[in-house]
Amino acid sequence: MERQGERLLVAQNGVYLEIVRPWVRLVRKLGGYDHKTSIPYGDMAEETALHCGRLPVELIRQFADMAMAAYPKETGAWIVWNAATHLFRLVPVTIREHSESHLRYDRPCLSTDDVLLVDCHSHGPSPAYFSPTDDEDDRYDVKFAFVLGNCVSPVPSMALRLCAKGIFEPVEPVPSDWYRAVRRKELS
Ligand SMILES: [Zn+2]
């Protein structure tokens, strides 16, 4: 697929979803067939191609600073990638309501070439994990979702997953330099 968007692919070995964004191309299998009907197409395979390069770990450190400043309340930010300049930056969300256990926010307004890459939120004193509310919030986007938990601990907890239109794929382990970035902050 040449343009941004999504399409369903019917293949001999199942139905696939293809997603194209400036920063990524994904092909994922949605399901197989109940019957051995002849499908007049070839086989597909799952694919992942990341075009944006490696995320600067400094942005994870900046988000950890935000999470500590908001502690014990939750906070959120987007890591945005600009498809024209290939630069990354952290954009705080506009918080409507937040407590130790929930966060309601407005999505940042992005300029034309900006795309959401990592949707970050913190869990205050609780561990990092994806709650049923997070699952519901993450169903529609194509992005990474990142949770920082135990935000003032010497070693905060982290959870990271790829979200692709309701497909959730844990990224485990979370990159070790992300832990180092946050830990260094704690010790300094
Ligand atoms: Zn959460």
Considering the chain, what is the average pLDDT of its residues? 93
Q: What is the CA(13)–ligand 1 centre distance, in A?
A: 35
Confidence of residue 184 (pLDDT cuts 50, 70, 90): low
pLDDT of residue 95: 86
CA 14-164-93 angle, to 5 degrees, is 170
Q: What is the pLDDT of residues 74-86, one digit of tens each?
A: 999 999 999 999 9
Q: How does pLDDT run across 31-45, given as a tens digit for each residue? A: 999 998 899 999 999
φ, ψ of residue 25 in degrees (nearest 5): -130, 130
Tens digit of each residue's pLDDT (9 = 90 or more) over 73-127 = 999 999 999 999 999 999 999 888 888 888 888 889 899 999 999 999 999 999 9
- Neighbour-count burial of 35, counting CB atoms closer than 10 A to its CB (0-12 exposed, 13-18 middle, 19+ buried): exposed
Q: How far is the CA of 36 from the centre of ligand 1 (A)?
A: 42
Distance 65 CA to ligand 1 centre (A): 18
Taking the centre of ligand 1 as the mean of its atom positions, its distance from the CA of residue 42, in whole angstroms, is: 40
Residue 131 Cα, ligand 1 centroid: separation in angstroms? 5
- β-pairing verdict for 103-106 and 114-122: unpaired
Domain 57-182: CATH superfamily is: Cytidine Deaminase, domain 2 (3.40.140.10)
In percent, the amount of the chain with pLDDT more than 70 equals 97
Residue 185 has pLDDT above 60, yes or no: no
Q: Measured in angstroms, how far is the CA atom of residue 122 from the centroid of ligand 1?
A: 7
Nearest CA to 146 out of 31, 84, 62 is that of 62
Cβ contact 144:117 at 8 Å: yes
Q: 178 pLDDT exceeds 90?
A: yes
Report the separation in Å between the CA atom of 129 and the middle of ligand 1, taken as the mean of its atom positions: 6
Q: Quick one: how many helices (H) and strands (E) in the chain?
A: 3, 12
Q: Where are the domains of the chain?
A: 5-50, 57-182
